[in-house]
Structure 1
Amino acid sequence: MKLRAGVVGLGKQALEDHIPGLHASDSAELVAVCDEDREIVREQQYQHRVQGYTDFREMFKTEALDLVVVCVPHHVGREVIETAAEHKVHVLKEKPFATTMQEARDLAEICERADVQLMVTLQRRFNPIYTSFTQLADQIGTPFVVDAQYTLHISDPSDGWRGRNAEAGGGCIIDMGYHLIDMVLWYFGLPDRVLADVSASARPDREYDAEDTALVHFAYDSGLYGSLLLSRFIGPKTEQIRLVGSKGMVHLERGRIRRLGNDGEVIESLSREQAWPSAAACQIDYFRRVIDGQRPNVSGPRENLAHMSFIAACYESARSHAHINPKELL
């Protein structure tokens, strides 16, 4: 029997990924949509033949939901998760998990007390290109440096709630950077030191305080060190991680991973062309197995406390101009 699912927040992510993913899933079916924009709700409820709401509290009260996909502005996330927990509804949450370390701790406790599963949407963990990284990394000797970047171009970083720290919790680090941070923690664990510089000056003619660009250095006591370049102003869209070892390199890009010699010659390569919306459907089907107790929750509240401590360390470092140990913030 399929899980009855609702979607709160009908922005691009919901319309292009999660709703098509629900329709493609064998595990869940869309029964309700919610957004504060009445026109979007009307359009989506007729298109998908589901119930529509402009108040998520009303949706939870009226619908017998098993699962909710939460795609709201960052500062609204806590209230939706709390309401879902009250109604014993499991939550698939668009990143980030929370806006602050304290909020993350609070939400982890709320989910545990209510005995509901929450999984943060980190689609790369369900993509074989990304899961191949560790296997190839084992073949490059002793790794010593990581070079990673995730950049894209938004012409006006001040536009909407994402330009305001008070609502977004930060800029490119906590938002788009969440995916790259997840990969760093997945592959290498939580670093021992973080040093970050951020700027909100790509458009001097605009008013905003959420960083548009960040350069984050991180290091481990083992000797491995690296950097992340994150930007929502530097085009074209680029996502890559390069790990350099004593006997070669692993270069991961969206849709392709390669193992190279230290001279840059390709030794082996793996690429994937996936049919849309397979990643979103795969994530929903996996979450169903988590709810049923058949799979571990690889991106649950407790796991995401590490992500939030890395992010908090970045912002504290940018303020203090000093190295911060994210493990001390856990």
Structure 2
Amino acid sequence: MSTYSQKRAQPRLRALMVGFAGHQGKEYLPVVREYADIVGGVDVAPAAGALADDWGFPRFTGIGEALKRVDFDVAMVTVPHSEHFPLCRELLLHGKHIVKEKPFAVTEEEARQLIELAEGADRSVYTLLQRNFNPVFQFARKNLARIGDPYWFSYDYHFNLAQPTSGWRASREQALGGVLLDMGYHLIDVLSGMFPEPSRVNAAFVHHYQEMRDRHLEDLVSLMCSYPSPTLSGSLRISRHNHEKSERLCVLGTGGALNVEPQGATLHSTGGRLLERFTRPGPKTDAVRAMIAHYLGHLDDRDVREDHFRRQLTTVRVIDGIYRERSRERNELADRYS
């Protein structure tokens, strides 16, 4: 039998969709179906039943029920941050692979526990981070050396929401953090793939709305990153209520500059001469499709798994460290005025 025939003979993966009725879950449904059979879904949302009927799979209201009722190889998890760890722990204890929305974990302790559980079960836990599969960001990583030694970066990412944050992201108990954990996770992960882990991060947390201040959920965060090498520093600004939606990474090096936006990137020499312009060759959905195909195709690849674990542990550790320092400062301030 030819290699092609052997591949064709392999059974399709069976996927369980957890949180499929939310915005992100609905976006992934058609892509997952290209590469796997969706054998069930877990969601308590009122609209989940009708959506499951439309897609032709059974709907369950809890992960325990799904584990008893259907056999599956991998769970696609798109739920509020507070539900990630207990869900993933339960799935790994039952020997299931996981492909999940960010964050990989909320705290470094949870990240280490998750990695230990995954390695013990010989299962993967992959995090859905679209920028890693966007050709523009791939171009940036590949060509970073062309600007010499990087000495500065600035990374800005803004939404233009006209109203206060709503839904589970407005709940401290469910979100467990504001824009840093939500939007910022993507940016910290991008930087983790380009630079060493920062040795120190100074953070300013800002609130547009009083209700978000009361819940300790930042509307804007500004970060200044220092690195083991004194020749590299950088800044990030992340917010939900800017006048326009935008994302831009600029890296300055001893030999030029790299500018990256989701739609394209440019390389310039020192002095501003354009060296190369790269434009994303297809729509955003191409990156989503490539991401899900890659993860589902490497569930049993231990090398890919270990690389993913190392990078996600770095990303979680940086964000957890920022929040811990912020909590310490807030407690010191409260003690001072108590």
Work out whether the TM-score is over 0.5.
Answer: yes
- 2:106 aligned partner: 99
- 2:319 aligned partner: 311
Q: 1:14 to 1:73 in 2, by over 3 A?
A: same
Task: Please say if residues 195 and 318 of structure 1, whose CA atoms lie closer than 8 Å, have aligned partners that are also in contact.
Answer: no
Check if 1:210 corresponds to 2:217. Answer: yes
Q: Which runs of 5+ in 1 are unaligned?
A: 323-330
Residue by residue, what CA displacement relative to the aligned partner does 1:36-94 show, whole Å, maximum 9, x if unpaired? 11x32222212211111122221122110101110011101112112211221100010
TM-score for the superposition, normalised by structure 2? 0.87
Task: Please say if residues 93 and 117 of structure 2, whose CA atoms lie closer than 8 Å, have aligned partners that are also in contact.
Answer: no
Structure 2 residue identity aligned to 1:282: A
What aligned pairs does 1:11-22 form with structure 2 within 5 A after superposition?
11-16=22-27, 18-22=28-32
Output the aligned Cα RMSD. 2.1
| Deviation at residue 289 of structure 1 after TM alignment | 2.9
Name whichever structure is richer in helix by fraction.
2
Q: 1:172 to 1:110 in 2, by over 3 A?
A: same
For 2:47 and 2:62, the matched residues in 1 are separated by 13
Count of matched residue positions in the alignment of Structure 1 and Structure 2 = 317
For 2:292 and 2:18, the matched residues in 1 are separated by 15
For 1:157 and 1:302, the matched residues in 2 are separated by 35
Check if 1:290 corresponds to 2:301. Answer: no
- 2:234 aligned partner: 226
Percentage of pairs with the same residue: 29
Check if 1:258 corresponds to 2:269. Answer: no
Look up the SS of the partner of 2:193 in the other structure: helix
For 2:244 and 2:268, the matched residues in 1 are separated by 24
Task: Please say if residues 195 and 321 of structure 1, whose CA atoms lie closer than 8 Å, have aligned partners that are also in contact.
Answer: no
For 1:230 and 1:270, the matched residues in 2 are separated by 25
Look up the SS of the partner of 1:187 in the other structure: coil
- 2:198 aligned partner: 191
Residue by residue, what CA displacement relative to the aligned partner does 1:110-168 show, whole Å, maximum 9, x if unpaired? 22222211001112112221111133221112211001011112333442321233321
For 1:148 and 1:104, the matched residues in 2 are separated by 25
Q: 1:271 to 1:64 in 2, by over 3 A?
A: same
1:56 to 55, 60, 63: 63
Q: Which runs of 5+ in 2 are unaligned?
A: 1-10, 331-338
Look up the SS of the partner of 2:103 in the other structure: coil
| Deviation at residue 197 of structure 1 after TM alignment | 0.9
Check if 1:138 corresponds to 2:149. Answer: no
Q: 1:135 to 1:78 in 2, by over 3 A?
A: closer
What aligned pairs does 1:144-163 form with structure 2 within 5 A after superposition?
144-163=151-170
Structure having greater relative contact order (Cα 8 Å, sep ≥ 6): 1
Task: Please say if residues 20 and 277 of structure 1, whose CA atoms lie closer than 8 Å, have aligned partners that are also in contact.
Answer: no
Task: Please say if residues 117 and 300 of structure 1, whose CA atoms lie closer than 8 Å, have aligned partners that are also in contact.
Answer: no
Check if 1:44 corresponds to 2:57. Answer: no
- 2:83 aligned partner: 76
| Deviation at residue 319 of structure 1 after TM alignment | 4.2
For 2:287 and 2:142, the matched residues in 1 are separated by 21
Q: 1:298 to 1:273 in 2, by over 3 A?
A: farther
Check if 1:241 corresponds to 2:252. Answer: no
Task: Please say if residues 163 and 209 of structure 1, whose CA atoms lie closer than 8 Å, have aligned partners that are also in contact.
Answer: no
For 1:175 and 1:298, the matched residues in 2 are separated by 24
Task: Please say if residues 7 and 32 of structure 1, whose CA atoms lie closer than 8 Å, have aligned partners that are also in contact.
Answer: yes
- 1:2 aligned partner: 12
Q: 1:93 to 1:141 in 2, by over 3 A?
A: same
- 1:327 aligned partner: none
Question: Which stretch of structure 1 is more off in the superposition, 67-76 or 255-264?
Answer: 255-264
Q: 1:125 to 1:299 in 2, by over 3 A?
A: farther
TM-score for the superposition, normalised by structure 1? 0.89
Look up the SS of the partner of 1:296 in the other structure: helix
- 2:7 aligned partner: none
- 1:274 aligned partner: 282
| Deviation at residue 276 of structure 1 after TM alignment | 5.7
For 1:231 and 1:299, the matched residues in 2 are separated by 30
- 2:131 aligned partner: 124
Task: Please say if residues 67 and 91 of structure 1, whose CA atoms lie closer than 8 Å, have aligned partners that are also in contact.
Answer: yes
Higher Cα Rg: structure 1 or 2?
Answer: 2
Structure 2 residue identity aligned to 1:210: L
For 2:130 and 2:121, the matched residues in 1 are separated by 25
| Deviation at residue 274 of structure 1 after TM alignment | 2.2
